[in-house]
Amino acid sequence: MTRRPIYRRQFLRLAGAALGASALADCGLAAAAAGVFDETPPAAPMPDITFGGNQMDPKILVAYASQAGSTAGVAEAIGQALARNGIPVDVRPINAVGDLSPYRAVVLGSAIHTGEWLPEAQAFVQRHQEALRRIPTALFQVCMMMAAGSEQYQHMTDGWFEPAAAAVHPVAKKSFAGALVLNRYPKLSDRLGLRIFLATIKLKPGDYRDWDAIRGWAKSLQPLL
């Protein structure tokens, strides 16, 4: 439990540096460093789809919270892999999910921001924790520190599951490397902060998702759900 405060201090230092850098935002150098000249791409796709199976059979839900779309992509790949067994699978943004009664099992995932699940994922766990405890529930999270290949960071990421895991008692949990593409973040100050974060964990911006690992984990879930 000491990991979280240490992490928070590190992140606050980063945020402080980002704030300082954002004060330089009018300076061309800072703007170039943040990739301000990139074009902002269209909003990331957030799939809300059903894969395969007999629609009369009890379904599996893969619900996800994602800001820039990489966690949505991971959720979609998990849903597709689970549906290969003929089971119908709904892949839905977490905010689109109301009632859990149609589901025999749930796979729940969130992007990580500042060492935590996104607020909508935390709220979903709070709201549905009793229902989620009654059916097999697996958790996943998507973050950049998993891509950095450091044991210290991987150890840190385990702690980010704690609030959700304590609430729902999951049958499995897994952290995946994500994607951080700076022009997905329209605010210059965000891009500066994220650049500093990436430099600190010695990573270049990019897409680090490992599709074999993602599909492999989904396959390993089949007997558990």
Ligand X SMILES: Cc1cc2nc3c(=O)[nH]c(=O)nc-3n(C[C@H](O)[C@H](O)[C@H](O)COP(=O)(O)O)c2cc1C
Residues that bind ligand X (CB under 6 A): 66-72, 111-115, 142-145, 178-180, 194
Nearest to 65 by CA among 150, 5, 143: 143
d(CA 185, CA 62): 25
Q: How far apart are CA 195 and CA 192, in angstroms?
A: 5
Q: Cβ 57 to ligand X, closest distance in Å?
A: 29
User: Which residue lies nearer to ligand X by CB, 97 or 194?
Assistant: 194
| Adjacent-strand bridge partners of 184 | none
Angle at the Cα of 162 from the Cα atoms of 48 and 205, rounded to 5 degrees: 60
Q: Give the nearer residue to ligand X in terms of CB position, either 72 or 214.
A: 72
Shortest reach from residue 15's CB to ligand X, in Å: 10
- Which is closer to ligand X, CB of 53 or CB of 178? 178
Q: How far is the CB of 209 from ligand X (least distance, A)?
A: 8
CA distance 223 to 128: 23
Structure token digits, residue 97: 């999910």
Closest to ligand X by CB, 50 vs 189, is: 189
CB of residue 22 vs ligand X: minimum separation in angstroms? 14
Beta carbon nearer to ligand X, 63 or 87: 63
- 79-96 exposure pattern, b = at least 16 Cβ within 10 A, e = fewer: bbbbbeeebbbbbbbbee
In whole angstroms, the minimum distance from the beta carbon of 61 to ligand X comes to 18
